Amino acid sequence: MDDDRDIGARARLAARVAIVALCTVSGAPLVAQTSGAATDSSPAQDAPEVTVIGKRLQNLRDVAGTVNVLGAKELTDIGAKDAEDIFKLAPGVQFNKGSADGAMLTIRGIGTNTSSDNTSTGQLPTGIYIEDIPFTDPFQYISTPDLAAFDLDSVKVMRGPQGALYGSGSLGGAVNYTFKKPELDRVGGSILGTLDSANGGNTRASGYAALTLPIIRDVLAIRVDGQYQSDPAYIDNIGTGKTNVNGRTVKGGRALILFKPTDNLTIDGLYIYQESHQDDTSASIGPDVYYYSSPRPSSYRSKFGLAKLEINYILGPIKLTSLTAHQTKERNLDGDLTRLLVPDATIGIDVSSVVGFGVGPFPNVKEARNIEFRRSNGISQEFRIASAEKGVFNWLVGAFGQNVNFHRIQDVTLTGANDPVFGDLFFDVHRDGKAEERALFGEVNLDFGNLELGAGGRWFNTSVDYRTTNAQAMISAAKSKNYHYSESGFTPKFQVRYHLSREAIFYASASKGYRFGGISSTPGNPTYKSDNLWNYEAGVRLEPARNFTFDLAGFYIDWKNPQVTTADQNGFLIVSNVGSATSKGVEISSQWRPVAGLRLNGTFTYIDAKTGADLQSTRNFATDVAGGFTGNFIVPAGTRLPGTARIQANFEPQFEMAGPLDSRLTWSALVNYTGSRRAQIDNDLMLPAYTTVDLRVKAARDGWEIGLAASNIFNSKGISSAAYSYFTTGTGAAGYADYYLIRPRISSLSIRRDF
């Protein structure tokens, strides 16, 4: 970590120099950063990619913001299977690993928690969208679906708040997944088989298939795909005596329909279903081991579904859009809390602040079991009216509504307690509620060719209705309570873009983002406010030669009333607002094609994200685990926000050449560096820096492709995230950390057929 601090000092100096340089250029913009694969057919940017960014069709060179578009070819080239693979290529994005469908993303340092294990209520700060449909839970956290990467058309990472057009939750940025569409004029598809082997673990096989089929040529077509993904296991549970327990299986499919009866009318339908299952936890008991210890497994089951209908109609100079969606999420946990509760169960567990007395002793308790069931279903509707053709004056207005119902049950039992009144039932609570959002939004742009000015905004109203029902148990007397919370506000956005020349584009922007307020699911159920932030950024994109591009952006974020998850005196999670926080940084991305067939991509990100006010908590990892409850603990102003490294960098060389038997060989590598990070806002647990190296070679001919790959070839034991569990017991405080390590070396064989 000393090396990382030295690098951080040098990076801070470089960041200041870069920002000063940016400030000397009036109105400096940065266009979207595209993946190398997106423009693979031509040197540099001969034919800039056109795609939907900010809910309108834009040339990526002309986007006044920082966007990464990871296209289908690049996802295939790196052998991406899931989010852990995808976000290696997105600078400024931190993938914080967790239990199955429980990972958390942090963009530009905006986050106060790194683990879904320590998340109960509260909206995540990074927006997740599937075909423009919001998939981030607005209040009660259910899951973060990890979409299978097969048959994705693109993954767009929009850095900076997207509140004006996308709404709540996209404080640090947003991620939008899109799928390959049906083709109206041809039959086609793909078949993929993979074999993956984990170092020190087992070997698993996966299979995928997709088919596009025109029903009425040029009018109606469908596309269907299916996947069976089996990830190799590498974690042992020494408590149960079983090895390789964390294997994950993902099954699902998608169906898309495209109906285009006239040139002016397009109707798109989409249905997705995906489920995943994991037999036991992916956590480790220590920071450098691949094993866990519990007397019983912690299994996860998760599933989600999405149905979408999108209608686009061009009526003269305007374009009408309707986007209707229904989604469901479900996540079940049958987990183990023995490490947390049992060590002190024999002398009694102190929950006096909850029910007025301690519980126990229970000398015969052998294990603690935690069963959770989480479910949500929601509907959303969006209407948009926009200018149909790009001109000097371009505009868009819209309305959005969303209703999400959620239900959560949690039962904790102490096996062997045999309490005369409650038996083994220690804790039983049901939580039900509804979250609603209503919004009006709009954007206008004046495009004078070399100069573009834009402004937009979103008026919103959010509300949460919440009901908790505590069944009779050792620490919760039978009772029910109803709560309500609502807020309204406005989030503006301003931007300017200027083409200094054909080779240089500058931009500057200011935008605001917001997040739902709500109610903590703890005794007393205190409310917490919506938080919001302003993001100010400036940047430049240069193309000094046809084979070289260079992007540079600097940003400053002012975050008000950040929502922070800490624990009360008993270890129950509580969400509260702390005065302020800031994040500032520099993002650099470059691509060079020195000779035919060779492409060199590199990115560098420096982020300094920290609190701006003192935060009071009741726990501190370093002292609690060492022994002894410390009482109130002050997290001082200037503390780093968790889950984000100051330094992130990657280097991706790729070389294509003629191979044997008229094939094409592609050699590629990915070197990724992640600096040290704070694990949680209210403890001193630091996660050290790590570096990974991935290698891949593939041969392609006549639609066939065979590939060999090895990820994390040096078997780095980098820690992606860590969750600190806490409860007040008869001896003071019990606490421990679960460590989520990155995957060990994975060796892979793949065979693909495209037709």
| Tens of pLDDT, residues 440-478 | 999 999 999 899 999 999 999 999 888 888 766 666 566
pLDDT bucket at 247, cuts 50 / 70 / 90: very high
Q: Is 430 helix (H, G, I), strand (E, B) or coil?
A: strand
Phi, psi of 72 (to 5 degrees): -60, -40
d(CA 328, CA 133): 12
d(CA 250, CA 230): 6
Q: Which of 708, 712, 709, 710 lies closest to 743 in space, CA to CA? A: 712
35 Cβ neighbours under 8 A, 6+ residues apart:
68, 69, 70, 71, 74, 89, 601
CB 548 within 8 A of CB 503: no
Residue 729 has pLDDT above 70, yes or no: no
pLDDT bucket at 414, cuts 50 / 70 / 90: confident
Question: Which pTM was predicted?
Answer: 0.87
pLDDT tens track for 22-45: 333 333 333 344 443 333 333 333
Q: What is the mean pLDDT of residues 138-156?
A: 86
Residue 408 has pLDDT above 60, yes or no: yes
pLDDT bucket at 273, cuts 50 / 70 / 90: very high
Residue with tokens 């402004």: 455
Rg (CA), the chain: 26
Q: Side chain identity at 7, as an amino acid letter?
A: I
Residue 437 has pLDDT above 60, yes or no: yes
- Provide the percentage of residues in the chain whose pLDDT is more than 70: 81
pLDDT tens track for 525-572: 677 888 899 999 999 999 999 899 999 999 999 999 888 877 665 556
CB 137 within 8 A of CB 406: yes
d(CA 504, CA 516): 39
Secondary-structure class of domain 2-754 per CATH = mainly beta
- What the block records as the tokens of 411 is 């039962």
556 by Cβ neighbours in 10 Å (0-12 / 13-18 / 19+) ranks as middle
**Largest CA-CA distance found in the chain, in angstroms, rounded:** 81
Q: Detail the DSSP E strand segments found in 188-287.
A: 188-198, 203-216, 220-231, 236-237, 248-262, 265-278
Q: What percent helix, strand, coil does the chain show, rounded to 5?
A: 10, 60, 35
d(CA 595, CA 25): 32
d(CA 135, CA 169): 10
Residue 370 has pLDDT above 60, yes or no: yes
* Residue-level pLDDT at 92: 78
**Count of H-run helices and E-run strands, the chain:** 7, 44
Distances in Å between the Cα of 402 and the Cα atoms of 171, 327, 385, 552 are 18, 11, 19, 37
Average pLDDT in the chain: 83
* Residue-level pLDDT at 31: 34
8 Cβ neighbours under 8 A, 6+ residues apart:
606, 646, 647, 675
pLDDT bucket at 117, cuts 50 / 70 / 90: low
* Residue-level pLDDT at 179: 95
pLDDT bucket at 522, cuts 50 / 70 / 90: low
pLDDT tens track for 607-630: 999 998 887 765 544 444 444 444
Q: Is 259 helix (H, G, I), strand (E, B) or coil?
A: strand
* Residue-level pLDDT at 248: 93
Residue 85 has pLDDT above 70, yes or no: yes
* Residue-level pLDDT at 3: 40
d(CA 83, CA 745): 17
* Residue-level pLDDT at 736: 64
Locate the domains of the chain by residue range: 2-754
* Residue-level pLDDT at 4: 42
Residue with tokens 């989409």: 270
Residue 356 has pLDDT above 70, yes or no: no
575 forms beta bridges with: 565
